[in-house]
Structure 1
Amino acid sequence: MIDLYSTATPNGHKVHIMLEECGLAYRSHHIDIGNGDQFTPEFLKISPNNKIPAIIDSDGPDGKEMSLFESGAILVYLASKVGKFLGDTDREKFTTLQWLMFQMGGVGPMLGQAHHFRIYAPEKIEYAVNRYTNEAKRLYGVIDRRLAESKYLAGDSYTIADIATFPWLRSWEKQGIVLTDYPHLKRWFDAINDRPAVKKGTTMFVDVRKPIADDKSKEILFGATQYAKR
């Protein structure tokens, strides 16, 4: 049995989708990041970087309990566990990991900054808004060009590279993107959005997650609480 600790964010949705795609039995536990649940000693034992998602697998690789944090690592772990969504040959696996790292190192961080400076920052800094909006457009262009020559990011098969990237692109309007400007990406986006596991995974915790609108939540996520020594 897998215990999932998460909330309704793009990084959380990656693992929600993956668990549904894999058909693995799991129990879900909501971590209210606007209330500071991510800083509790219990959660920090699982995720020392105080970020969601995290999992505990009671049946780890050696038959013993194993906990994991970092969404990309969790995706690789689950793909290895079920023998799917990572590729069969070494070439396919490394191609998948290449595009997974592209998401982890580029798409997530850059689009996260676009969200912050376009939506959450207490003041609108024109330089920051322009920088991260333009970077979002550049990354969408990279993905669109790839999908002009490939059905999915890693090739002909749906993999954890697609599962990792899709949730970050669901907020394209908030990133200053016009999706129809990227026709190959839109074709891919619509196909993935129609998958039953994706529909279920992206609704998980939506009903209990509160909008980041009040001063307390913003302070916990972006202020001194986030940077306190622990």
Structure 2
Amino acid sequence: MRNMGDDEKNIKIHKILGDVIGKDGVTEINKLKGDLVQGNKYLIKNGKEAPPQDHPNGRDCPQCEGWTWKRTRECVHCGCDIFTLDDEADLKRQQEIQRQQEELERQQTIQRQKELDIQEQLRIQRELEVLEELKKQNKKEPQTLWDVSSNELLREHEHCKKQKMDVYSKRFIPFAITLCGFGISIYLVITLVLPNMFVLKHTDWYWIYAVIFGSVFPSALWLNKVRTRDDKLVAYYKERIELIVHILRIRGDL
């Protein structure tokens, strides 16, 4: 609370409407905005006693801002109904709090809706990506070489030629192993079997048979299997190359 004062007359003027009374109870200034503070009491024109400033049982009047009694319904300065004003202030505060809560709920609802919209957009985007991927996977492949473009046919032609040469090159190891097996068998026959045919014991013949059968026959079987497989691959690539060349010649691209 703001106070103005005159130390000589012991008068302090408070921001309240009322007559100012001097030391001896004589009115010195009429209708001045303020109360007289004399000792530890406030005195106003109708003689009602007001609490001293900052008194523990005092409070501000919400209308005139005067320091009045806390438990008195009416203000001793302006006579207003403090409880009614307090109720109105509480109502305004409650309305403001309710308005803030509603605004907060509205903002939260908007935020949740934004998050849901973002999730929905992401879901739609994922679905579109999945559909696009499925379209790529389900895209029909050319049924025959006639449905393939000339550029693709040329690339396929080079690929088939390369694969055919790879098949031929991979035959070297099986043929080499088989030839070694035959060479070992022939060497054993010439150096051991023929010169000593009539002096070899039964156990020696067993060893010779074991070496011959262990080297020649597995190698021959393996070579036959590899040759059969490779012949099929070579025939496939040859046929494919011939068909590609035929198509390219008909199209005039070769």
Task: Name the TM tier (shorter chain).
Answer: under 0.3
Which structure: larger Rg? 2
Report the TM-score when normalising by structure 1: 0.19
Greater per-residue strand proportion: 2
Report the TM-score when normalising by structure 2: 0.18
